[in-house]
Amino acid sequence: MNATRQTAADDRHPLAGTTMSGADIVVQVVADEGTDTIFGYSGGAILPTYDAVFRYNDAHRKPNGDAGMPLIVPANEQGAGFMAAGYARASGKVGVVMVTSGPGATNTVTPVRDCMADSVPIVVICGQVPCAAIGSDAFQEAPVAAIMGSVAKHVFLVTQPEKLEATIRSAFKLARSGRPGPVVIDIPKDVQNWTGEFRGSGELPLAGYHRRLDAVTGNHLSDAACQRFYSLLAQAERPLIYAGGGVINGDATKAMRRFANEWGIPVTTTLMALGASDTTHPLALHMLGMHGIASANYAVEDCDFLIAAGARFDDRVAGDPVRFAPNAKHVAQFDVDAAEIGKVKRVDWHQVGVLRRDLEDLLDYGRRIGFEHDYSRWHAEIAELKDKYRLNYDRDSNLIQPYAIIEAVNRHTKGKAIISTGVGQHQMWAAQYFDFREPRLWLTSGSMGTMGFGLPAAIGAQFAAPERVVIDIDGDASIRMNIGELETATTYNLPIKVIVLNNYGDGMVRQWQKLYYDSRMSGSDKSLHRKDFIKAAQADGFEFAERLADPADIEPVIARFMAHEGPAFLEVIIDPDAGVYPMVGPGLSYDKMITGDYIRSREKPDDVTIGPSEMF
């Protein structure tokens, strides 16, 4: 009995029983959850908590003078949200955003939806008008719970201050557990000013969520299920792993790689899973999908057993679900979310559970039964696909080709830098031409496709991984969405490297308009000639700010750019007609893939027609 009491006493939070303000409780729990950086913009309704952050940092200052939990101030709240997302994607930890009420909260709607779409864990703490003023159209009031409820994993409005501590702790658990996602906490100012006892432990009951979570975490693979899987694998001659973002979100990269390497199964990844498989590995097929590598898409066409791991068969991968993997006699699917099983594509075998554990258990079972199968012929076919249908472009052009820029940078980074992007053609070129040796090196807005993501996400990633080289590959239109964050990078002396591939307009939109709208450039051919990006970068404190316009200068300029120790900005004037190829039109199958003028393709059917004209 005495030993039990001693253990309980040892486990007790050192501040338990202390009287604190609501704001101090918020900050203490945020720190207890392992947060080392907060991103946010101040305002009246969040001032009590901002003051608590200041006092916490003053009391926990490190020997070198740095704050214990620095608060990074962006140009606007959307930037803060994307910084937190970049931090979370690069680190695997929960990103934290702290903003004021009204416009402060509503400016985070896009990052919250972006994180929900890509399963990224962040916690957004919003100030709110006092409880008595809610619903009165008070100054800087917005119905955060109503607005965010449809785009977040969960939203809390804290009107009972006694539940504040448990709510903050529960928000972090919700954000990181199961299928990760954004959680929003709306805290009225009077709740922040309330004083009460800090308990040091405890969460909200959330009985329904815990039941669903327990059902997933408790659903172990049975020997019978393993036997059925290996029966399907034994029948296959061309198995293929189709890995999605869930592999990275579930920290299952090592387990997936071990499983693939043990049996010699090639791997192709979605846009969100780049780095889950080392792209330099002989059996790695890089990215599949609408703008996937031709060899990867052809491997999907040829495979006879498709194994989907943490992937959801979205429309950018399976535009025509019936004809996706047409020769696959069987399809298996692993996911943490039961709603994704068979949602788009009928599967013959599935497992809803913890992906890392399930892959490890499946591998162990295969070893126990002595599973063996010779896939050497398939390996030879994969090697031939990768050689025959490799990426290529006009290497003799008098204009700078964007692909050449990324190849040049890739020679310096060797697949080990963190690459962030905006959204558009530059995003797809970066996905195609960069190597990724590890997970969490690729940061992009996948499902939402949010322009303006790249720069703030790179800033967040640099805070998460200060030892890494962090590069934002951006477009002239995309970077303008959050160009104010250039000053944030220099304010905090972050050595991020920004490359703007300038084709004077919305390149991806123009590509679609050329293909599907008879080259009617409605609203996309803005010809942004008046924007001097170099002067803008210099005005925001970039000591290295150069423009590259001559193909002959690519190697020396890139070398200087990469060698610069501080923040560096490079504008590259690229061929305005450079396209993203391969391309699979919306709603079409991979046999109708367009590969452009420089990438080989299989013989196309005579009846190929342009796909539906829906924009994206």
Q: What is the reported pLDDT for 9?
A: 60
Report the chain's C-alpha Rg in angstroms: 25
pLDDT, tens digit, 9 for 90 and up, residues 386-439 = 999 999 999 999 999 999 999 999 999 999 999 999 999 999 999 999 999 999
Q: Is the peptide bond before 63 cis (omega within 30 degrees of 0)?
A: no
pLDDT, tens digit, 9 for 90 and up, residues 30-69 = 999 999 999 999 999 999 999 999 999 999 998 888 888 9
Domain co-membership, 107 together with 41? yes
Cα–Cα distance measured from residue 214 to residue 203, given in angstroms and rounded to the nearest whole number: 16
Nearest to 43 by CA among 103, 2, 89, 92: 103
- Retrieve residue 334's tokens: 């692993």
Question: Is 131 inside any structural domain?
Answer: yes
Domain co-membership, 555 together with 438? yes
227 is catalytic: no
- The single-letter DSSP state of residue 603 is P
Q: What is the reported pLDDT for 217?
A: 95
pLDDT, tens digit, 9 for 90 and up, residues 102-146 = 999 999 999 999 999 999 999 999 999 999 999 999 999 999 999
The pLDDT of 82-95, averaged and rounded, is 98
Instruction: Choose, from 69, 140, 254, 371, the residue flagged as catalytic.
Output: 140
Instruction: Choose, from 116, 508, 562, 583, the residue flagged as catalytic.
Output: 508
Domain co-membership, 296 together with 261? yes
Task: State pTM to two decimals.
Answer: 0.94
Helix (H, G, I), strand (E, B) or coil at 478: helix
Stretch among 517-521, 582-586, 588-592 having the lowest mean pLDDT: 517-521
pLDDT, tens digit, 9 for 90 and up, residues 252-311 = 999 999 999 999 999 999 999 999 999 999 999 999 999 999 999 999 999 999 999 999
Number of domains observed in the structure of the chain:
3
Q: What is the reported pLDDT for 604?
A: 55
Question: Is 185 inside any structural domain?
Answer: yes
Domain co-membership, 195 together with 249? no
- Retrieve residue 102's tokens: 């009204």
Cβ pair 415, 471 in contact under 8 A: no
54 is catalytic: no
Domain co-membership, 210 together with 92? yes
Q: What is the reported pLDDT for 612?
A: 40
Q: What is the reported pLDDT for 3?
A: 54
pLDDT at 521 > cutoff 60: yes
pLDDT at 613 > cutoff 70: no
pLDDT, tens digit, 9 for 90 and up, residues 180-206 = 999 999 999 999 999 999 999 999 999
Domain co-membership, 346 together with 383? yes
189 is catalytic: yes
The β-bridge partners of 349 are: 332
Rounded percentage of the chain residues whose pLDDT exceeds 70: 95
Residues 6 or more apart whose CB falls under 8 angstroms from that of 476 comprise: 500, 501, 502, 503, 504, 505, 528, 531, 533
Question: Is 122 inside any structural domain?
Answer: yes
Question: Is 70 inside any structural domain?
Answer: yes
Q: Categorize the per-residue pLDDT at 529 as very low, low, confident or very high, splitting at 50, 70 and 90.
A: low
pLDDT at 171 > cutoff 60: yes
pLDDT, tens digit, 9 for 90 and up, residues 330-340 = 999 999 999 99
165 is catalytic: no
pLDDT at 615 > cutoff 60: no
Stretch among 154-158, 367-371, 601-605 having the lowest mean pLDDT: 601-605
At which of 200, 215, 230 does a domain end? 215
Q: Residue 581: CA atoms inside 13 Å, Cβ hemisphere, count?
A: 20
301 is catalytic: no
What burial letters (b/e) apply to 397-417, b meaning 16+ CB within 10 Å? eeebbbbbbbbbbbeebebeb
Domain co-membership, 38 together with 77? yes
Domain co-membership, 34 together with 169? yes
At which of 365, 388, 411 does a domain end? 388
Question: Is 423 inside any structural domain?
Answer: yes
- The single-letter DSSP state of residue 63 is T
Q: What is the reported pLDDT for 605?
A: 52
Question: Is 585 inside any structural domain?
Answer: no
Q: Categorize the per-residue pLDDT at 11 as very low, low, confident or very high, splitting at 50, 70 and 90.
A: confident
Domain co-membership, 222 together with 208? no
At which of 336, 355, 388 does a domain end? 388
Cβ pair 304, 238 in contact under 8 A: yes
pLDDT at 498 > cutoff 70: yes
Q: What is the reported pLDDT for 1?
A: 47
Domain co-membership, 19 together with 144? yes
- Domain hosting 74: range is 12-215
Question: Is 586 inside any structural domain?
Answer: no
Which helix (DSSP H) or strand (DSSP E) does residue 254 occupy? helix 253-263
Cα–Cα distance measured from residue 336 to residue 248, given in angstroms and rounded to the nearest whole number: 12
Q: What is the reported pLDDT for 2?
A: 60
pLDDT at 441 > cutoff 80: yes
Cα–Cα distance measured from residue 444 to residue 535, given in angstroms and rounded to the nearest whole number: 27
pLDDT at 603 > cutoff 90: no
Q: What is the reported pLDDT for 8?
A: 55
The CATH number of whichever domain residue 135 belongs to comes to: 3.40.50.970
Instruction: Choose, from 20, 28, 33, 77, the residue flagged as catalytic.
Output: 77
Question: Is 594 inside any structural domain?
Answer: no
Instruction: Choose, from 93, 153, 173, 189, the residue flagged as catalytic.
Output: 189
The CATH number of whichever domain residue 277 belongs to comes to: 3.40.50.1220
Domain co-membership, 258 together with 167? no
Domain co-membership, 437 together with 485? yes
